[in-house]
Amino acid sequence: MTFPLRRLPAAALVTTLALCTGCASTLRIQVQSSDKTNEGQILYMMVRATTDEKLIAEDYDKASERVFSTGDESVKKVQAIVPGKPVTFSIPRPEQEKLALYFFFTQPGTNWKLPIDPPAPVEIFVELGNHEIQGVQVRRE
């Protein structure tokens, strides 16, 4: 049995190319936690464009004010994390901006924020401990 050769319409071809190139244009973030993370209480994470100076100068309280504020264009994403439930999402992948991931624990340890130097990786996997970031894996390409 033979099948006739069919040509893809131009719109389908453009869509296919956009999907293929879209993979490199996004940053996929995966967060894993346990039931004991944040003593079992929901916590929030924030992805934010920043600079080295701002990252160093900004303390936990100042950073946490941005979670529910509106109009701050540096905030790329705010995500609730339910302990024990994995979270995965994607954001546009910046080439030149420095990013930081912030995790707002009720009683944060010393590792509650994670700087990401440009160019941003394709994927970040973050493992949360009870009160801080426990581990990080990064895939560049």
What domains lie within the chain, and their CATH numbers? 26-139 (2.60.40.4150)
Two tokens at 126?
A: 């973050």
Q: What is the pLDDT of residue 61?
A: 94
Q: What is the pLDDT of residue 22?
A: 44
Find, among 65, 87, 85, 83, the residue nearest to 74 by Cα. 65
Average pLDDT of the segment spanning 57-77: 92
Taking only the tens place, the pLDDT of each residue in 79-96 is: 999 999 999 999 999 989
- Residue 8: pLDDT over 70: no
Q: Binning pLDDT at 50, 70 and 90, where does residue 14 land?
A: very low
Whether the bond between 119 and the residue before it is cis, its omega within 30 degrees of 0, is: yes
- Residue 85: what residue type? K
- Asked if 126 and 33 count as a contact pair (C-beta separation under 8 A), the reply is no
Q: What is the pLDDT of residue 24?
A: 61
Q: In the block, which residue shows the tokens 């009683």?
A: 107
- For residues 136 and 133, give the distance between their C-alpha atoms in angstroms, rounded to a whole number: 8
Q: Which residue has the higher pLDDT, 140 or 20?
A: 140
Q: What b-and-e string marks burial along 47-73, b requiring 16 or more CB atoms within 10 Å of the CB?
A: bbbbeeeebeebeeeebbeeeeeeeee
Please list the alpha-helical segments (H only) found in 23-131.
Answer: 52-57, 60-64
- For residues 21 and 114, give the distance between their C-alpha atoms in angstroms, rounded to a whole number: 27
Q: What is the pLDDT of residue 1?
A: 45
Residue 99, judged by CB atoms within 10 A of its CB (0-12, 13-18, 19+), counts as buried
Taking only the tens place, the pLDDT of each residue in 31-64 is: 999 999 999 999 999 999 999 999 999 999 999 9
Average pLDDT of the segment spanning 16-39: 77
